[in-house]
A and B are shown apart, each in its own frame.
Chain A
């Protein structure tokens, strides 16, 4: 991915090379200019010639400054698309991951990923800058020295090349330790964050000792990793010092013997000390630090946001976790969707569990809802009602048995043919109209009618009408639910599934919204928050774990103690106060 980003646009690369050439001009001239200025100028009592040579050097630095500026922009032109691509990948991966069951939002890891994107961009730019600067400087210095006094090259290049080779060879080991440090550091940060957030709970459980031991380990591991990095860095510094300074010594010792004048010696030293050594240092910094950081960030991004497709699964597994539960089977990507002929819902022997070792949430369920039927699903929370809603919608595929809508397997049904409104209503930053016509476009009249029917007229007025911008954070949970309900009402779907979609409305608003959906026609499945919904529906499905009972309200009152229990709780006079 990194390489592709560099080579994607050869024209940008060529521009970068051109400006880099300008930037490397002083590296070409410095030794020459100083040697000439001393030898032909100041030392030869011709100060004007000396000044001219130095003026040339100064001019070269000015050209280099312009070159440097343009190079930064040329690097930016490569780094910015790279950032865009990474960010698109992170966002796409996060959203696609979130919409596959079991719908974990994982907002924190997302925040970390976006941070990684910025780190990766900076590191990417730093690596390009360092590598390019090194290459151009080395070539310039070699050319400059060859024209100044070629005899000096054998004194300078071999130790330099040896140092470079040692550095490149040690790079993988260095990278490993850097990465180990980043991982240890992140682990420490995570455990400290968890401790700070759970302080009250840890103390109330008297688990200070255990948590302290855990974090103590993380602290020690981080310190060990830091020390390891310091150790290899020290060894590297030693080899680079030798590579940078040994040529100086050799030039001093043998240069005059090879016929170098004082000016040529000073000029050569300038090449080594002012150009070659800094370029090597820059390369080391660029590859050894930024390069490692880049690799780590990109690896992290790849890990947290695998691309969809066969490769996606692989990225998640094999990463050290002892227990990797198999994911529940998501509804596979719809390649070809079918419009069912009606909204008849059929479940045949449907069983579903969230893992091979988990107890089933739904077990051997047979259920037929004819077109136009109104079903209320009731029961304690956490025991399968939302799972049933997801199965009917085709978001989950049963472990065994089948779910059909109008004769079409649920996973193949055209999304426009059914609509699911979950408990957490989705309202996004945009106009109220955009939010309401999210599922299907609708004429202004139809929108206004729907607003009246569902009972959000007052809210729409307060928000400032259809064209007003909606800020989801400023709305209460109930207001968001009204918007989602109106949106569902406007969709052409003949099958509507409300999964506790009215739980934040007061009973009157809830009754009004449900009545609107009853008048709207089609098949309606209401996962009920209050039992009043069951009173309004023709059929009631009582779910308590895998024990399921279907009947009318009166039948269930007669046969089910659990149902009577529920009913006793939900008589309207005992209102929940929270």
Chain B
């Protein structure tokens, strides 16, 4: 069995007892539905033969009671079916989502390197949902086959000729549906193209908000964005037309099929081969049998669930980052790479004594970011070991590691409700004790009680005022001053705090400063700061943050010159490790690393 199928099976199993209920009522309901035309037809026949007005014979009462029971069964099964399918899908999706989310968090950024962010979101969202619908798709699809196939069989039993009429008609339906697919895809594409155009114009206009505000041209901008609207309407109407055409074809085929069956059956009735009740039943079975198309649709849904499961399954190809149980011994943050290869680095050996500042330089692609990521264990090397104060980082507990190391990035993503929250993210850190099993914990135990009232939620970190530990960190990162100018200061919700790239970098720096007690890894984390702010951050780094080991990847000469030593990387190998002046003097290739500026336009616009 393939991995995707195994996942579908496990997901179905986690639909809970509702899957069982679903299976029972679906099969039961469809059997009853199949029986319905027969019992009604029989009742009609007994009515003809056995009634004088106002008097019920025993057989009539019997068959009407039979009808009542079957009808009640159908209604109850229908209702339970809806309930069970909704509940089982909800439980199954929740289980799968929870499991996938836990795994993704455990696997960490290595996963984002493998899958683009949007793709990851789709897998966790839409694909997990589709997989969660597998129980429903399987059961409903299977149970739909009962009335449709059964209807065809019943029709053959009642009148083979009518059955033949129906099959010919069904073929027609399939052809019509295929025609529909061909008709619309082109119009749909054109329609979506115009939609995309309008969206793109809107995004452009929004990016020029300040220019538009100053020029007072808001209304003409709105008109510009909406200019393609007539075209959109033209394609929209085309879409409706294609829709209407296909709708007519499918809408007319089933009734005409029924009429055809009635004609054939009616002639047989005239010939005395059918009773009125049988004719009724034949017509109903024809309609049921024509439902084969939608039953096949369920097969399609199952196929979708299966392929979605395959995409969710792929998340597990990235093994989770596991943590050890060791704590850090006393130390000042000495960092050692021993024979480290992987992520673009090749055989790097180096020792950074505790408490020094080291700049990492090299052309893009030389492995600077890889070195930074390995130093704070955002990834594991494929070979070799990284030590922090003599302990392999792999053996450290999550808590020990993350409290010791603070990472700042070129483009930090801020996580949290408020600005204060975002700065304190690393301190809120591992709330749970170190329960890091080598395998990502199965979430069965962790699955939240679904009906838990909102008041029982665990308390969350919510920085109302600036936390005492945050302000010094924010100050060192030159973030305190601008945060205080936000509408609610540190309590400003992130969504309402528009920030430039430089401001975001400063929050990211503050977050790292608050978190990393021994080692700070700044991966190009000051590139968007204006030079004065950068200098102030540099002053803090060599001032109040002096006690910690600092690893700074950079493009800037000034940063390299200020550091205690420079690690110079080239093509993933350590090319030099010395003071800046020494390297500068000795190696023209080192000087060339900094001379990458292209005359004309410097492309700082992407920050």
Contacting residue for B259 out of A61, A189, A195, CB 8 A: A61
Interface residues of B in 473-494 (CB under 8 A from A): 478, 481-482, 484-489, 491-493
How far, in whole Å, are A360 and B482 apart by their CA atoms in the complex?
A: 10
B45 cross-chain contacts in A, Cβ below 8 A: 262
Binds B, one of A99-107, A342-350, A515-523, A533-541: A99-107
Contact with B along A202-224 (1 / 0, CB 8 A): 11111111111111110110111
User: Which A residue sits closest to B205, measured CB to CB?
Assistant: A95
- B263 on interface, CB distance cutoff 8 Å: yes
With A94-B202, A110-B206 as contacts: A428 and B270 at CB distance below 8 Å: no
Is the Cβ of A209 less than 8 Å from the Cβ of B603?
no
- A556 CB contacts on chain B under 8 angstroms: none
**CB of B216 within 8 A of chain A?**
yes
User: Would B75 and A242 count as touching, CB distance under 8 A?
Assistant: yes
A197 at the interface (CB under 8 A from B): yes
Known: A65-B252, A95-B222, A224-B450. A325 touches B262 (CB 8 A): no
Is B399 interfacial (CB-CB < 8 Å)? yes
Enumerate A373-405 residues with CB–CB distance to B below 8 Å: 379-383, 390, 393, 395
Interface size on A, residues (CB 8 A): 175
Q: A216-B448, A256-B53 are in contact. Are A577 and B252 (CB under 8 A)?
A: no
Which residues of A (339-368) have their CB < 8 Å from a CB of B? 353-355, 357-361
Q: Once the chains are docked, how many angstroms separate the CA of A43 from the CA of B48?
A: 12
| A559 interface residue per 8 A CB criterion | no
Contact indicator B263/A219 (Cβ below 8 Å) = no
The residue in A210, A429, A575 that gathers the most chain B C-beta atoms within 10 A of its C-beta is A210
- Tell me whether A463 is interfacial, beta carbon within 8 Å: no
A381 lies within 8 A of B208 (CB): no
Q: How far is the CA of A100 from the CA of B216 in the complex (A)?
A: 11
Q: Which of A188, A420, A426, A478 contacts B603 (CB 8 A)?
A: A478
A328 to chain B, nearest CB (A): 7
Given A223-B91, A325-B488, check contact A266 B603 (CB 8 Å): no
Give the residues in chain A near B5, CB-CB below 8 Å. none
- A379 (CB) vs chain B CBs: closest residue: B532
Q: A224-B451, A565-B535 are in contact. Are A256 and B51 (CB under 8 A)?
A: yes
The distance in angstroms between the C-alpha atoms of A133 and B85, with both chains bound, is 28
Given contacts A98-B209, A204-B376, contact A38 B269 (CB under 8 A): yes
Question: Would A230 and B202 count as touching, CB distance under 8 A?
Answer: no
Does any Cβ of B come within 8 Å of A26's Cβ? yes
| Interface CB pairs A-B, < 8 A, 22 | A54-B266, A57-B259, A69-B245, A76-B240, A87-B229, A105-B209, A192-B121, A193-B125, A204-B402, A206-B430, A208-B105, A209-B432, A212-B105, A216-B448, A230-B85, A269-B40, A273-B284, A323-B491, A380-B478, A382-B503, A505-B601, A577-B596
A269 to B43, CA, bound (A): 12
Query: Contacts A206-B403, A230-B83, A503-B604 known; A45 to B270 CB distance under 8 Å?
Result: yes
Task: Tell which of A334, A353, A569 touches B535, judged by Cβ atoms closer than 8 Å.
Answer: A569
Check: A138 CB closer than 8 A to any chain B CB. no
Name the prevailing secondary structure of the B interface residues: helix
Cβ of A231 within 8 Å of any chain B Cβ, yes or no, is yes
Knowing A227-B86, A477-B605, say if A216 contacts B98 (CB, 8 Å).
yes
Binary CB contact string for chain A from 236 to 261 against chain B (1 if under 8 A, 0 otherwise)? 01100110010011001101110101
Binary interface profile of B, 62-75, with partner A (CB < 8 Å = 1, else 0)?
00100110010011
B248 interfacial contact with A, CB 8 Å? yes
How many residues of chain B get a CB closer than 8 Å to chain A's CBs? 182
User: Is B398 located at the chain interface by the 8 A CB criterion?
Assistant: yes
Given contacts A69-B244, A200-B413, contact A95 B221 (CB under 8 A): yes
CA distance A106 to B405 in the complex (A): 33
What's the least CB distance linking A548 to chain B, in Å? 14
Which A residues touch B67, using CB under 8 A? 248-249, 252
Report the minimal beta-carbon distance from B537 to chain A, rounded to whole angstroms: 11
Tell me, in angstroms, the Cα distance from A207 to B430 when the chains sit together: 6
B-facing residues in A33-58 (Cβ within 8 Å): 34, 37-38, 41-43, 45-47, 50-51, 54, 57-58
Decide if B545 is an interface residue (CB 8 Å cutoff): no
Within 8 A of B (CB), among A496-532: 499, 503-506, 509, 529
Q: Are B76 and A238 in contact (CB under 8 A)?
A: yes
Cβ contact within 8 Å between A472 and B204: yes
Interface 1/0s, chain B 540-576, versus A by CB < 8 A? 0000000000000001111000000000000000000
Q: How far is the CA of A253 from the CA of B66 in the complex (A)?
A: 11
8 closest Cβ contacts across the A-B interface?
A477-B605, A230-B86, A426-B208, A206-B402, A355-B487, A241-B75, A478-B601, A234-B83
Task: Let me know if A201 is at the binding interface, CB within 8 A.
Answer: yes
Using a CB-CB cutoff of 8 Å, which residues 66-109 of chain B contact chain A? Answer: 67-68, 71, 74-76, 78-80, 82-83, 85-87, 89-91, 93-94, 97-98, 101-102, 104-106, 108-109
Contact assessment for B203 and A100 in the assembled complex, using a CB-CB cutoff below 8 Å: no
Q: CA separation between A40 and B523, bound complex, in Å?
A: 90
Q: A205-B511, A427-B204 are in contact. List 13 more A-B contacts (CB 8 A).
A: A50-B266, A69-B244, A76-B244, A94-B202, A95-B225, A103-B213, A196-B117, A204-B406, A207-B430, A212-B102, A266-B279, A382-B503, A419-B215
Q: Is A28 an interface residue (CB 8 A)?
A: no
> How far apart sit A425 and B74, CA to CA, in the bound complex (Å)?
66
What residues of A have a CB within 8 angstroms of the CB of B195 in the complex?
114, 118
Say which residue of B224, B276, B405, B485 sits within 8 Å of A266 (CB atoms).
B276
Nearest-CB distance from A345 to chain B (Å)?
A: 15
Chain A residues, Cβ within 8 Å of B506? 382
> Contact between A62 and B211 (Cβ–Cβ < 8 Å)?
no
- Bound complex: CA of A229 vs CA of B97, how far in Å? 19
